[in-house]
Amino acid sequence: MLDFLKGPVFAIQEFFLLGAKAVKNIFRRPFYWSDLFVQMDIIGVGSLPIVLLTGFFSGAVMALQMARALSNYGAKEQTGVVVAITLVREMGPALTSLMVAGRNASGMASELGSMKVTEQIDAMRALGTDPVQKLVVPRMLATAITLPLLTIIADFVGIFGGYLVAAGILGLTGTQYWTSAWRAIEYSDILQGLLKPFVFAFAISLVGCYYGLNASGGTQGVGRATTQAVVMASVLIFILTFFITKLFVGEVY
């Protein structure tokens, strides 16, 4: 009767086994440094333009929206506060991670998936290389290192985008905006804002690698793996962000 659950349960178990193996392998030799740097370049530097764009415009849009709502209470000067807090706590991590999920979870799934269906993964194992060590560990670490950094950049350009709107359109002064924004952010906000991308990084990279390594059925299978990886990574980001937020909000109240 519960047969239909067998597939998903098995997949979740396999996913966690892959995660455990990848984490354990971080401390194993050989460590593929050059693969790590290549992946950091692809994920970090490669995502920079899109992260700058989305970060900037989300800050700008937020300033527009918030200023309108706040002016109802005569609190337009508080725009900087709201933009900064929302970006650092929530929007920066979530948007950046979603962008990286779209770019890199799919990239990993399709790259590893093609390697799987052309038997390069089998060849690797046959020729004495552990695919988890060579492929998964560098991708996981590269994402875990670069995603928090990308988030910081997105937060900053977002707040800057908000400032341009506040100063250019809403007529606030720079001091009003920046000092209120700066004062509003607490250490727990920064902690929360960096913990999220760090956790999401593991979800994104492991999901991408998992779907890639389990691709089957030729080119079509690679396409399927890629789509599933992006969807699954994005959904996981939303679920995880809820729980991490809950953790921090629960602490405050």
Partner 1 sequence: MSSDAPILEFQQVTVDFGDSLGLDNVSFQVREGDARIILGAAGSGKSVLLKTALGLLRPTSGRVRVFGEDVTDLNESAWFPVRRKLGVLFQEGGLFDSLTIAENVAYPLENNRKDPLPSTDVFQRVKEALEFVELGHTLDKVPSELSGGMRRRVGIARAMVTKPRLTLYDSPTAGLDPMTSYTIVALITKERCVHNTTTMIATHRYQDGHFLANYTYNGQTQSIEPRRHHGEDGDASTRFWVMREGRLVFDGTQSELGRVDDPYVAKFMKPRMDCNGN
Site map for partner 1, 83-112, x if CB under 8 A? Answer: ------------------------------
**Which residue among 8, 49, 74, 128 contacts partner 1 (CB under 8 A)?**
128
- Going by C-alpha positions, the residue among 243, 248, 247, 235 that lies closest to residue 203 is 235
Q: Does 1 bind partner 1 (CB under 8 A)?
A: no
**Contact letters (x/-) for partner 1, 175-214, by CB under 8 A?**
----------------------------------------
Q: Which residues are CB-contacts of 229 (< 8 A; sequence separation ≥ 6)?
A: 105, 106, 108, 109, 207, 208, 210, 211, 212
Contact segment (CB under 8 A) with partner 1 among 85-93, 115-123, 166-174, 179-187 equals 115-123
Interior angle at CA 91, CA 182 and CA 179, nearest 5: 10
Rounded Cα gap, residues 231 and 109, in angstroms: 12
- Residue count, binding to partner 1 (CB under 8 A): 14
How far, rounded to the nearest angstrom, does the alpha carbon of residue 58 sit from its chain's CA centroid? 16
**Would you say 28 or 183 has its CB closer to partner 1?**
28
Residue 127 interacts with partner 1 (CB under 8 A)? yes
Among 91, 98, 101, 117, binds partner 1 (CB under 8 A): 117
CB of 225 to partner 1, least distance (A): 16
Closest CB to partner 1 among residues 41, 119: 119
- Contact criterion met (CB below 8 Å) for 233 and 177: no
Distance CA 106, CA 123 (A): 23
Neighbours of 164 (CB within 10 A): 14
Helix, strand, coil share of the chain (percent; to 5):
90, 0, 10
Which of 65, 86, 120, 176 is the binder for partner 1 (CB under 8 A)? 120
Q: Could you say which of 13, 118, 188, 220 contacts partner 1 (CB under 8 A)?
A: 118
Footprint on this chain of partner 1 (rule: CB under 8 A):
30, 117-120, 122-130
